[in-house]
A and B are shown apart, each in its own frame.
Chain A
């Protein structure tokens, strides 16, 4: 599914990623953990194609396709989805309208007709039920005045609607209380399948109690310094990041 080879990236001439190698197969959940400033969010932004980051070396492949020259929307059309740590507000644009635009633009890029309105409504109904989302919420302006929990649930709702091949959840647990965390995690688990892959980026082990990873990677100073199974997350929780820092 995803293959990252020797990825180097910098922002304003400061190198953040210093040679990342990562392979994620369909049906797998990978967790990327690490202390603040280790490059976790940069990695997700670079995969999504954010042009504020300059890739200086290395390549990202999705299902064998080199993503290097693709614009963010083209990557999205190929099935890359990023759940933002800080989702932006777009006043006056309802969640439904935003989703309809996103889906139809993706379909257009794939040479498909626009999704008929009744099918759209049906899908919205199914997905909102799946994620226990009150449909009144869908007519509100995108993220405007949303609570932290609502914003993250909205991200997962969009993931459900777009059915990506690769979903990157960037600090989805930040700012959530335990109930909101459970709801969001349940949503992600329901969307997991053998055909898609999920990368969970997190600071704490807490989220991984709910979204259980197959692999855990520790990112430190722009490199993956340790990889293992889910038990690595517990070890980190116990020993703290100082353990990693000391070793490197």
Chain B
């Protein structure tokens, strides 16, 4: 800081006031409800963040205050009251349950169907883990292997403390604070998330999964993820879990930023299964996510997602193909049942020459749900020979659901080649009867048909994730055929 101004003094005084006045108020585990600059500062303080981080959050908060909630998505819901939410909750050290016997049997039944081990079940439902030693040792071996390669994989809070240069250099470069309403909100109040850095030329030897990070089972409402793949490196990152996440927090607004430097490759796979609300459409999580990746020269980013949960989903994992010859891919399965609404898709922004993108989107709608694909393919004037292939398929079950496709194509370069294919089909009674006649009951027949429909995307998931995702599709559509 070169010159101490009146403004600086004012800020300092404000901070003092908060240090002595407000701070004592927030010693409890959960902050009071509502959002203000004080709350943002308090979050930053609580997390022992450096000044630049606090400033960054404040800047985001001020931008957010001026912004309006977007309304263009094809979803209808009652808007959250942002002043009735508590924005910080310290990680609870106490377990919710003493044993699995106390956990909702319906939840356990689902775990069983998914084939989740007892240990995992305990961890996911918040049961005290007495066998925790096991997973700690796994995590330790895991950390050691990564450390040898120079790979950093930790919580974003830890990264802000331990690797401030890396975070400072890249945070907000792909998704700026002011990018959109929810990204701004996230930038101001993000509680935690993951940070990953792969050094030059290193091929990450294993799939990185948040599961291995202890204390990460209960991720926050406003998660922030930053993945940096340095030149010539490779990483496959798994996010989420097929286990149903029951969460009292209704609003989830995460931000994920991926940075693939020259010749690097990032594969990012997500399985999202937040609570979708009950069969009458009551409750359920609102999931408003901003995910974007930046590709430098010859770099490649693949997004693969299986979305089965949430009451309302608003999510467009995108690629900015800045470097020449860079490649962006988006593979998605979005399932909606009962009263779920999903508006999801991608943006492929072609800036560099010879950039290539592929979009394969499979939407499955059942019950009274609405499922929309929204995608943008943008070719800039200097993106010579850019190519895109998009395929959007919708599968309908029953007569009360909807499938919508909103593809936007903007090309400013005459050499661009853009292909778009779209199909809509319905599971036919004749298909189901055919399966029945071969001894396959209707539920199983539907699962088989849906899996066949989704195969192109399921194949893109890492093996063990794909098996779980397949089971998840079956469970999500259970009872959808009368």
Contact = CB atoms under 8 A, between A and B. Distances in A.
Interface of A: 48-52, 71-73, 76-77, 80-82, 84, 87-93, 97-98, 101-103, 105-106, 109, 141-142, 158, 162
How many of chain B's residues touch chain A, expressed as a range?
20 to 34
A146 to B, nearest CB: 14
Contact of B429 (A49, A52, A103): A52
Contacts of A76: 436-439
Given A73-B441, A101-B444, A92 B436 contact: no
A92 B454 contact: yes
Interface of B: 428-431, 433-442, 444, 448-449, 451-456
B439 A162 contact: yes
B452 A141 contact: yes
Q: Which 6 A-B pairs have the closest CB atoms?
A: A92-B452, A93-B452, A72-B436, A76-B439, A102-B438, A92-B455
A87 B455 CA distance: 21
A109 B439 CA distance: 9
Given A88-B428, A90-B452, A102-B440, 6 more contacts: A73-B437, A76-B439, A89-B431, A91-B452, A92-B452, A97-B448
A77 B448 contact: no
Nearest to A76: B439
Contacts of A82: 437
B433 A93 contact: no
Contacts of A106: 439
B439 A105 contact: yes
15 contacts: A72-B437, A73-B440, A76-B437, A80-B437, A84-B437, A90-B452, A92-B451, A93-B448, A93-B449, A98-B438, A101-B444, A102-B440, A103-B439, A105-B439, A141-B452
A92 B453 contact: yes
A84 B439 contact: no
B435 to A, nearest CB: 8
B433 A50 contact: yes
Given A91-B452, A93-B448, A73 B430 contact: no
Contacts of B452: 90-93, 141-142
Contacts of B436: 49, 71-73, 76
A98 B445 CA distance: 10
Contacts of B435: 90, 102
A105 B440 CA distance: 6
Given A77-B439, A106-B439, A84 B448 contact: no
Nearest to B395: A91
A84 B438 CA distance: 11
A77 B437 CA distance: 9
Contacts of A88: 428, 430-431, 434
A84 B455 contact: no
A51 B430 CA distance: 11
A50 B452 CA distance: 24
A162 B434 contact: no
B429 to A, nearest CB: 7
A10 B105 CA distance: 45
Contact of B433 (A72, A103, A158, A162): A72
B362 to A, nearest CB: 10
A82 B430 CA distance: 13
A205 to B, nearest CB: 27
A182 B435 CA distance: 27
A188 to B, nearest CB: 18
Contacts of A101: 440, 444, 448
Contacts of A141: 452
A90 B437 contact: no
B438 A158 contact: yes
Contacts of A98: 438, 448
Contacts of B451: 92-93
B453 A91 contact: yes
Contacts of B431: 88-90
Contacts of A158: 438
Contacts of B440: 73, 101-102, 105
B306 to A, nearest CB: 15
A101 to B, nearest CB: 6
Contacts of B444: 101, 105
A232 B437 CA distance: 31
Contacts of A52: 429
Nearest to B459: A92
Contacts of A102: 435, 438-440
Contacts of A97: 448
Nearest to A48: B437
A78 B448 CA distance: 22
A48 B451 CA distance: 26
A101 B456 CA distance: 20
Contacts of A142: 452
A138 to B, nearest CB: 15
A92 B458 CA distance: 11
Nearest to A77: B439
A97 B454 CA distance: 15
